[in-house]
Amino acid sequence: MSSGSSSVIERARARIVYDSRGSPTIEVEVRTASGAVGTAAAPAGKSRGRHEAVPYPDGDPYRSAQIFNQEIALKLVGRDALDQRGVDAFLREVDGTPNFSRIGGNLALATSVAIAWAAARSASLPLFAHLSKIFNMRTALPLPLGNVIGGGAHTLGQAPDIQEFLVFAFPEASLRKAVEANFLVHRRVSSALTELFPKAAIGRNDEGAWAAPLPSEQALSLLTDIIESVANETGVPLAVGLDVAASSLWDSSRQQYVYKREGVRRDPGEQIDFIIDLVSTYPIKYVEDPLHEDDFAGFREITDKLRKFDCLVCGDDLFVTNPERLEHGIKEGAASAILVKPNQVGTLSDTFRVAQLAHTHGYVRIASHRSGETEYAYLSHVAVAIGARLIKTGIMGSERVAKLNELIRIAEHLGIER
């Protein structure tokens, strides 16, 4: 701690605000001696891995706010906001559990990010530059991985069993053109679905993706035609991504993946063959959670088999931004990319520990939002600071677009004409 420093915390408080689903979430505000203020709120996932940090004690965000205001706030006063690792270690010490079940992982994240913002502003730095400096990681400007057709746990009614049908540009594309191409694909999908189902109500899910009563392969065929036409018009090379969210399909009692809407059951070998067949048939270059969250051996097999298609295999529920689970995956050779969701692990220090480990072992980093999001855009700064190749923000809705707009501002700050 540097006594008398302008970055010393003078005041801290927590309050309840609301996320994009209208659900209560925690927001933390921190003020330093220089008058710099850092504020952050935590998002909430609907499709959560079993091994994630616990969002709130007994599922109660109000309890987290009470713990902060009665127990944590005064203990933060006098600490230096520049000591991010020290503050994050303090949060773990106060919690005293391996998964933040006492104070809540969302409280830990909101506090960690609010303090980082306050420190960055005290040092007159953008958040991404501050984080890159303190965690010693090389920055990169990611491109958007947009969710254009939704199914699974994120969509009600008749929709594909696969959770997300995604679109993204290849690395040579500029940021702005990639963003605009994703939006154009989204609009074209809407038109195509309306034409295909003229009597159906075509709506959007939590992340802005279109929901419609069509099976997975029909969704892929439709999306393939659209990205090819958009790529030809815009000159932006595009590919398809899938978030299978296979843990939500897995029936452990029968050891099968159950595709309820399509009336199909697949054993683990058949699931691998199914995904490989999709990748070999359609322009899929990204597959997230193709198998359930504890099948490290299956992930190794499918990763090896998809290498010849130059397709990333990404672990979300498999890794849950957890260093121990990532280390296990590294030993097994499971996956080639990791989804980085800060609220899965609780603090920025933990998040960057995972990102550094992934970088060291050649795993592609993909920064990700949650389905219940806030208007805060700190994820964009985290994505740049961890050197992410892609960023998942959903596709439409002000809480989603805010992250993309912030990336454009960051690119301008970096002097990148993207």
SS (H, E, C) 40-72: EECCECCCCCCCCCCCCHHHCHHHHHHHHHHHH
In angstroms, the CA 30 to CA 370 distance is 24
Catalytic residue among 29, 288, 301, 341: 341
Examine the residue annotation and report whether 52 is marked as an active-site residue of this protein. Answer: no
122, with CB counted inside 10 A (0-12, 13-18, 19+), is buried
In angstroms, the CA 354 to CA 359 distance is 9
Please name the residue that has the structure tokens 């691998």. Answer: 272
Catalytic residue among 164, 207, 301, 373: 207
The three-state secondary structure class of 311 is coil
Examine the residue annotation and report whether 207 is marked as an active-site residue of this protein. Answer: yes
What DSSP designation does 108 have? H
Residues 108 and 53 sit within 8 Å (Cβ to Cβ): yes
In angstroms, the CA 146 to CA 378 distance is 18
* Nearest Cα to Cα of residue 55 among 338, 392, 341, 379: 341
Backbone dihedral angles phi then psi of residue 274, each to the nearest 5 degrees? -60, -45
Backbone dihedral angles phi then psi of residue 199, each to the nearest 5 degrees? -100, 0
Backbone dihedral angles phi then psi of residue 149, each to the nearest 5 degrees? -130, 130
* Nearest Cα to Cα of residue 326 among 291, 351, 347: 351
What is the set of active-site residues?
Answer: 207, 341
